[in-house]
């Protein structure tokens, strides 16, 4: 339970830092690239053992982490485009609804159980995510020509979570979790640097120290959000489908309360209903384990 709670807390801190990015007008891409470097260093520090760079390609998970690092950058850029064209609520819903992908994967590939309580809990969780995330009375408005971007965010986010579950369960040894995480972030950082170099060549790069600070603040919770999620998946608390569902709805709940307390966000009745349904969904999934 402690690993799941820490994963939720770390992911909520990411939400807080992104809010600060907006408040202080930081360049999100630049801060994100720094964040990947900090997250990589965090994993290296946490790894108990000697790191041999030449040995990394011999790990079964190595080339998968390179692909994941690339996917991190791609999904981030898709999220930025979606935010610009359709708004933050659309991104939030697409990201959180992507829990469907690892849940279905767990049910089909790992043969996770699907009793009555768990089925109702997962369905309520999806409704809860939508209701709690949409902060406008009129709901989500997406122009048909922009629909492809939230769809790609949905698919990309779901593939990332599913890949992490598959890799940690099939290839990553217990003591290699920090190194596994660090390698993913190292790949993302390397690709991010290439993007920044291209921006510099095109004359679109402008250095600002506040972006470095933003990346430093984001990097540590970003690393631990992945690290503790992997540990939670291995804890045996719930099956993977339950872990991903509880993790996502709990992040939405806690982030919403943080928004109210620290950023003076005002909630609509449907947002409160979403929070209530989120609590019920978690209870139902927990009951499935007990019963």
Q: If you search the block for the tokens 């993913």, which residue do you land on? A: 184
pLDDT of residue 161: 93
Q: Where are the domains of the chain?
A: 2-290
pLDDT in tens, 131-151: 998 877 777 778 888 899 999
pLDDT at position 194, please? Answer: 94
CA dist 87 and 212 (Å) reads: 26
**Which tens digits make up the pLDDT trace of 208-221?**
999 999 999 999 99
pLDDT per position as a tens digit, 273-286 = 999 999 999 999 98
Of 179, 192, 190, 227, nearest to 32 (Cα)? 192
Interval 50-91: pLDDT, tens: 888 889 999 999 999 999 999 998 998 888 888 778 877 788
Whether 82 and 153 have beta carbons less than 8 Å apart is answered as: yes
DSSP H/E element including 63? helix 62-86
Is the Cβ–Cβ distance between 167 and 63 less than 8 Å?
Answer: no
pTM of the entire predicted model: 0.89
Are the CB atoms for 210 and 24 separated by under 8 Å?
A: yes
- Mean pLDDT, the chain, integer: 90
């Amino acid at each position: 339970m402690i690993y799941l709670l820490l994963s939720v807390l770390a992911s909520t801190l990411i939400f807080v830092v992104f809010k600060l990015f907006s408040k202080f007008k930081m360049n999100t891409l630049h801060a994100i690239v720094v964040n990947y470097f900090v997250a990589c260093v965090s994993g290296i520090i946490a790894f108990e053992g000697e790191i041999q760079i030449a040995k990394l390609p011999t790990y079964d998970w190595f080339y998968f982490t390179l692909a994941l690092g690339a996917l991190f950058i791609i999904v981030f850029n898709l999220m930025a485009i979606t935010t610009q064209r359709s708004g933050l609520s659309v991104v939030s819903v697409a990201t959180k609804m992507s829990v469907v992908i690892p849940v279905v994967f767990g049910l089909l590939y790992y043969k996770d159980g699907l009793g009555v309580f768990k089925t109702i809990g997962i369905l309520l969780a999806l409704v809860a995510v939508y209701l709690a995330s949409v902060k406008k009375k009129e709901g989500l408005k997406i122009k048909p020509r922009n629909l492809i971007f939230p769809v790609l965010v949905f698919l990309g986010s779901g593939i990332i979570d599913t890949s992490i579950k598959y890799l940690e369960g099939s290839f990553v040894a217990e003591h290699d979790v920090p190194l596994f995480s660090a390698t993913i972030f190292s790949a993302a950082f390397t690709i991010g640097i290439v993007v920044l170099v291209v921006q510099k060549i095109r004359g679109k790069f402008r250095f600002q120290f506040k972006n470095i600070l933003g990346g430093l603040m984001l990097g540590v919770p970003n690393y631990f959000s992945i690290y503790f999620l992997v540990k939670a998946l291995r804890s045996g608390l719930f099956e993977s489908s339950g872990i991903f569902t509880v993790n996502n709805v709990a992040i939405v709940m806690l982030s919403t309360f943080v928004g109210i307390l620290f950023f003076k966000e005002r909630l609509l009745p449907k947002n409160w209903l979403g929070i209530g349904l989120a609590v019920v969904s978690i209870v139902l999934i927990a009951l499935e384990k007990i019963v």
